[in-house]
Amino acid sequence: MTKKILRKVLEEVLGTEVGRHQYASFDLIGDIAVLRLPGELEYLGLLLGEALLKANRRISTVLLQKGGVSGTFRLRNLQWILGEKRTETIHKEHGCLFKVDLAKAYFSPRLQHERLRIAHLIKPLENLVNLFSGVGCFSIIAAKHSLLRSAFSIDLNPDAVKLMEENIRLNKVEGRVIPILGDAKDVVEHSLVGIADRVLMPLPELVYEYLDTAIKALKPSGGFLHLYDFVHASRDEDPIKKVMEQASSRLQSLKVKYRILFGRIVRSVGPNWYQVALDVRIMPLDEG
Ligand SMILES: C[S@@+](CC[C@H](N)C(=O)[O-])C[C@H]1O[C@@H](n2cnc3c(N)ncnc32)[C@H](O)[C@@H]1O
């Protein structure tokens, strides 16, 4: 409903014909609306923000996101537009509460389906290693919706790990979700070799560079990898197939035996540009 408001305002200001073809969207994170507009329409931020505030009583703050996420910590470039001047809020997802600070640590509500999908794959007493945990959403939802034993949850951003620690307490999963500050490669090499039934890699930019680390974290009996990648695909190309080919060639170069079990488009991130998830089974060394 609130999405329609943005279109209505664009059509009112720019005229129906022009307005209809313009792109405007927002994420609702807790009580913060994060507005996204093409650069040439950013001057309409205040007007669109006012319309959002009026249309949805849950919204207390409107921020404008300029460009995509960037840097090692995958942060948004945010500009305050309206309402309470803050970037912190509490977001609810799948019965869990997440304290987030959008200026300090990555968070996207657009991964919510994927987070529950992974939780439902986990079998009792599994150990999960999450190489790029952010504020802990995948790990905490997994702990709440499965009988996993431990979710070792690594992130390089100290603010993300601080928020993850608070989120672990908020959701009462202390002792099952274990927050670890550091580079995923160093942490695995130092203390998590051979312990995981399942490894999560929710950072497309490092997925292939850290593939050997993910495999090292798995038990000698093998296990599952969940990979995320971005891919460009034209109309006649299949994004899932493209990522499967890319992952296969990397896995072959690491000389592991594997089976790709499943692939799905998580979301579209731009014109002909997709985020794809792959579930891969890594076999024990003596099995094909
Ligand atoms: C896309 S976000 C993770 C999203 C998170 N899984 C979620 O559901 O919100 C990627 C995270 O990886 C972290 N990161 C980047 N490089 C890293 C590294 N070398 N080791 C561990 N974490 C890293 C970033 O700080 C960021 O929080």
Number of domains in the chain: 2
In a domain, 287, yes or no: no
| pTM of the entire predicted model | 0.95
Residuewise pLDDT in 10s, the chain (288 residues)? 567 777 777 777 776 666 666 778 899 999 999 999 888 888 889 999 998 898 899 999 999 999 899 999 999 999 999 999 999 999 999 999 999 999 999 999 999 999 999 999 999 999 999 999 999 999 999 999 999 999 999 999 999 999 999 999 999 999 999 999 999 999 999 999 999 999 999 999 999 999 999 999 999 999 999 999 999 999 999 999 999 999 999 999 999 999 999 999 999 988 899 999 999 999 996 654
Backbone angles phi and psi of 131, in degrees to 5: -70, -25
Q: Which atom of ligand 1 is nearest to the CA of 73?
A: 25
In a domain, 207, yes or no: yes
Indicate which CATH number applies to the domain containing 72. 3.30.300.110
pLDDT in tens, 67-106: 899 999 999 999 999 999 999 999 999 999 999 999 999 9
User: Quick one: 72 and 213 in the same domain?
Assistant: no
Q: Which atom of ligand 1 is nearest to the CA of 111?
A: 8
User: Quick one: 131 and 239 in the same domain?
Assistant: yes
What's the pLDDT score for residue 9? 78
Going from the Cα of 260 to the center of ligand 1, the distance in angstroms, rounded, reads 24
Going from the Cα of 12 to the center of ligand 1, the distance in angstroms, rounded, reads 40
What's the pLDDT score for residue 253? 97
CA distances from 59 to 31, 49, 126, 190 (A): 5, 10, 39, 44
Q: Which protein residue's CA is at the shortest distance from atom 27 of ligand 1? A: 134
User: Quick one: 79 and 114 in the same domain?
Assistant: no
E strand spans, the chain: 25-29, 32-36, 61-65, 78-83, 88-93, 96-101, 127-130, 150-155, 177-181, 198-201, 223-232, 258-270, 273-282
User: Quick one: 199 and 126 in the same domain?
Assistant: yes
Tokens 């500050």, located at residue: 181
Q: Single out the residue in 86, 116, 149 at which a domain terminates.
A: 86
User: Quick one: 42 and 135 in the same domain?
Assistant: no
In a domain, 6, yes or no: yes
User: Quick one: 69 and 194 in the same domain?
Assistant: no
At residue 142's C-alpha, the angle toward residues 139 and 145, to 5°, is 150
Q: Which atom of ligand 1 is nearest to the CA of 138?
A: 8
Question: What 3-state class would DSSP assign to 134?
Answer: coil
Ligand 1 binding pocket, CB closer than 6 Å: 72-74, 105-107, 111, 132-134, 137-138, 154-157, 160, 183-184, 202-203, 206
User: Quick one: 52 and 191 in the same domain?
Assistant: no
Domain membership of residue 44 as a residue range? 2-86
Q: Single out the residue in 54, 86, 118 at which a domain terminates.
A: 86
Task: Tell me the residue type at 242.
Answer: K
Indicate which CATH number applies to the domain containing 211. 3.40.50.150
Q: Single out the residue in 86, 117, 140 at which a domain terminates.
A: 86
User: Quick one: 76 and 132 in the same domain?
Assistant: no
User: Quick one: 70 and 197 in the same domain?
Assistant: no
Going from the Cα of 244 to the center of ligand 1, the distance in angstroms, rounded, reads 22
In a domain, 246, yes or no: yes
User: Quick one: 136 and 260 in the same domain?
Assistant: yes
Q: Which atom of ligand 1 is nearest to the CA of 155?
A: 22
The 3 state secondary structure assigned to 36-81 is: ECCHHHHHHHHHHHHHHHHHCCCCCEEEEECCCCECCCCECCEEEE
Going from the Cα of 131 to the center of ligand 1, the distance in angstroms, rounded, reads 7
In a domain, 224, yes or no: yes
In a domain, 93, yes or no: no
User: Quick one: 113 and 150 in the same domain?
Assistant: yes
d(CA 45, CA 178): 40
User: Quick one: 194 and 116 in the same domain?
Assistant: yes
Going from the Cα of 259 to the center of ligand 1, the distance in angstroms, rounded, reads 26
